[in-house]
A and B are shown apart, each in its own frame.
Chain A
Amino acid sequence: MSFSMRKTYAPYVGPYDPCPPIRVKSYDTPPQLYLGFQPPGLEQFPPREALRRGTLWRALYSPYENPYKPS
């Protein structure tokens, strides 16, 4: 896939901000923003896996984890 599912930006940090600044903020840009009309013949997950993931199509699978969680 030629896109990233998360984009980042660096908001202004003021000298008197009351909370410790989060210097890099991020937001989700999931695959449906890029796919356009789904072309035929895309790669599929095996049926059982598709039921678990919530989509049959690899190109539409968008994993999500809490971005605030220390990894």
Chain B
Amino acid sequence: MWLYEKKLQYPVKVSTCNPKLAKFLIEQYGGADGELSAALRYLNQRYTIPDKVIGLLTDIGTEEFAHLEMIATMVYKLTKDATPEQLKEAGLGAHYANHDRALFYHDAAGTPWTATYIQAKGDPIADLYEDIAAEEKARATYQWIINMSDDPFLNDGLKFLREREVVHSQRFREAVEILKEEQGKKKYY
């Protein structure tokens, strides 16, 4: 069960009406390495992972939904007052034809989200290694979007999200270390 807090994890500010950036940002919404994929991957894997790391997957999976909400807010703000003409110029004509200004779970190239983006192998090491890779890929995606964006407010939010990928990767790496730990051995920190 979840409790919903009616606020964003980090404030989302956008300086200009720039639907072109929305087209790139949607990669983190419904793309292979986006926040939806991340949330669903972790919250599903957690049932069949050793007890010691279930909580980590629950926490991070939950936070990914908070990130999804931030991306959604960014995309919405960048497009909500754009005219169909502006959307067309931004390369969002095909999106407008199908969805008006509604958000949809697809990547920057328009490919709809698919469950084949995520995996649950049931092997704890395989699953955690996938999760570490997913965090690094999401970090890289944020970097590429920041490299194309000249909106300082938006980049501020994106840099926060990128830092969270760094922290999540660190925690998944620690989870692997916990599972690697030789049983019955004395621990030294």
Contacts and interface: CB of A to CB of B under 8 A. Distances in A.
B102 interface: no
Interface residues of A, number: 23
B4 interface: no
Nearest to B146: A66
Contacts of B159: 54, 63-64
Interface in B133-152: 139-140, 142-143, 146-147
Given A64-B146, A66-B146, A66-B147, A37 B163 contact: no
Do most interface residues of chain A lie in helix, strand or loop, or is the interface mixed? loop
Interface residues of B, number: 21
A38 B164 contact: no
Contacts of A37: 174, 177, 189
A68 B189 contact: no
A7 to B, nearest CB: 14
Interface of A: 28, 30-32, 35-40, 51-55, 60-64, 66-68
